[in-house]
Amino acid sequence: MAPLAVATRERLLDEAERLFARDGVQGVTTREITEAAEQRNASAVTYHFGSRQGLLLEILARRGGPIDAERGRLRSFAGPDPTLTDLVACLVRPYTDLLGDPAGRAYLRIVAQLRGRFAAWRLESDAATTEHLSAILGEIEQRAPTSPALGRERILALIILLTGSAADRARRLDADDQPELDHDTYVENLIALCAAVVSA
């Protein structure tokens, strides 16, 4: 792909990510995205991503891939017999690391808006960016002291808690509303809460 096309594609991704986070995935038009990216071609989104949905999926993959790679690295360090808390930390730490960066916070705010799709995450997720997520959640689900159906429900609750809490903190940081808890305390508390959801 030509350098100019790559630059245009990245600009569209950056602006869409920013607008989706600020105004909502459903509240932003492709025209607003192309205008924000200073593109004269009104069909730039279609040209580069196939559709508005293709653009959203590319945004998710762009951030999701590195997060999943870090999950896999942390899981390998946890050894052959990790505790439930160790496994939960493999999910929480890479995700909450994004809170330190405005673009990362935009991603967190976008993911939380997709809450209605979480129940079908195993079927709809991009396998290339959720390989370690899927494996770790599978291990966590096996630790749930309950029936398989309730275990799946607890995994869903864990995902909702993690994504919702991180998005809320991202929103507050973006608004210069300094949270009461420092980052490390927040992360440790979120790990404990997510582990408690599974083991309750």
| Domain spans, the chain | 1-50, 62-199
Phi-psi region at 176: left, alpha or beta (left = phi > 0; alpha = psi -120 to 50): left
In percent, the amount of the chain with pLDDT more than 70 equals: 90
Q: Which whole number is the average pLDDT over 104-117?
A: 88
State the pLDDT confidence band at 108, using cuts at 50, 70 and 90: very high
In words, the CATH class of domain 62-199 is: mainly alpha
d(CA 150, CA 146): 6
Judged against a pLDDT cut of 80, whether residue 115 lies above it is answered with no
> What is the tens place of the pLDDT at every residue in 141-166?
988 888 888 988 999 999 999 999 99
The domain 1-50 having CATH identifier 1.10.10: the answer here is yes
Instruction: Report which of residues 124 and 7 the model is more confident about.
Output: 7
CB atoms within 10 A of CB 133: 21
199 contacts: CB under 8 Å, gap ≥ 6? 84, 143, 144, 145
Judged against a pLDDT cut of 80, whether residue 88 lies above it is answered with yes
Return the residue matching tokens 């100019």: 4
pLDDT for position 123: 44
> What is the tens place of the pLDDT at every residue in 9-25?
899 999 999 999 999 98
Q: Which whole number is the average pLDDT over 93-118?
A: 90
For the chain, give the number of residues.
Answer: 200
Mean pLDDT of the chain: 89
Give pTM, 2 decimals. Answer: 0.89
pLDDT for position 7: 84
Judged against a pLDDT cut of 60, whether residue 69 lies above it is answered with yes
Identify each DSSP E strand in the chain by its residue range: none
Judged against a pLDDT cut of 70, whether residue 5 lies above it is answered with no
In percent, the amount of the chain with pLDDT more than 90 equals: 59
